[in-house]
Structure formats: structure tokens, C-alpha cells
Amino acid sequence: PYAGWAMYCGTKAAMDMMTLCAAMEQQANHTGVEICAVYPGKVDTGMQASIRRTAPSLFPRHADFIGAKVRGELLAPKAVARLIIDLYRQGQFKNGGIYDLRSARTDRGRCTIEPARTIGAF
């Protein structure tokens, strides 16, 4: 959670529940459609750049975002996309899974990830 970001954070939480519910519905209806959600982590997007340009007085965590950029903690969008594609192609995403890419691991060229939540958790 971030102060002043209730809509942004609330929408992300709603997306998780929508993913879980839609995955259950698809599973129950035997449609063959699978749904999951992915948290990409801190990605160096236009949104990040906009936040860094915001007046610090308008956003209490402004320094955290500046620091993340300075420390090189932001991921390149293409690298995130590549990881998602690799995980998908290697069958790592399961119906109803909510995945945090920060937990992905690579061993001998194989990417693996465990879901942070699943439809079975409720």
C-alpha cells in the first residue's frame, strides 16, 4: 500500500480476486481457458518516470522511487516480457495462479515459479 494510491492499490487487489473467480468459473465450465495474474515487480516504465517527476510533497514515498532508479532496481520492460514468455512456454503458469516474478528462479536454463496464491487457497 502507498498513501494516496488507494485506487491504484485497490484495483490491483480487485484484479487478484477477479483472476481467482474467473479461473474457478472457467474450470467449473470446462472451457479449457486458463487465467492467471502476474506481478512483474518494479519495471522501468513511463509511470515510474512520471512518479519521479512528481513533487515530493505530493507523494510521501517519492524518495523510495528515486532511490530504486538510482540503485538500478528497476527492471527493463523487455526483460520482464522475456521472463513471462519463458515461464509460459515452460508450462509454469497454472489456472488461477497469482505469480510474483521476484520469486522466479532459473536453473540450467529452466525457469520455475510457484504461485503466491491459487484458487485452491480459498
38-74, pLDDT tens digit by residue?
999 999 999 999 999 999 988 888 999 999 999 999 9
Compute the mean pLDDT over every residue in the chain, rounded to the nearest whole number.
91
From residue 13, how far is each of 59, 77, 78, 101 by CA, in Å?
21, 22, 25, 17
Beta strands in the chain (DSSP E): 37-39, 98-100, 105-107, 110-112
Contact 118, 96 (CB under 8 A): yes
Q: How many residues does the chain have?
A: 122
The reported pTM is 0.84
Taking only the tens place, the pLDDT of each residue in 16-44 is 999 999 999 999 999 999 999 999 999 99
- Give residue 121's pLDDT: 59
- Give residue 36's pLDDT: 95
Per-residue pLDDT at 91 exceeds 60 = yes
For the chain, report the end-to-end CA distance as a whole number of angstroms. 22
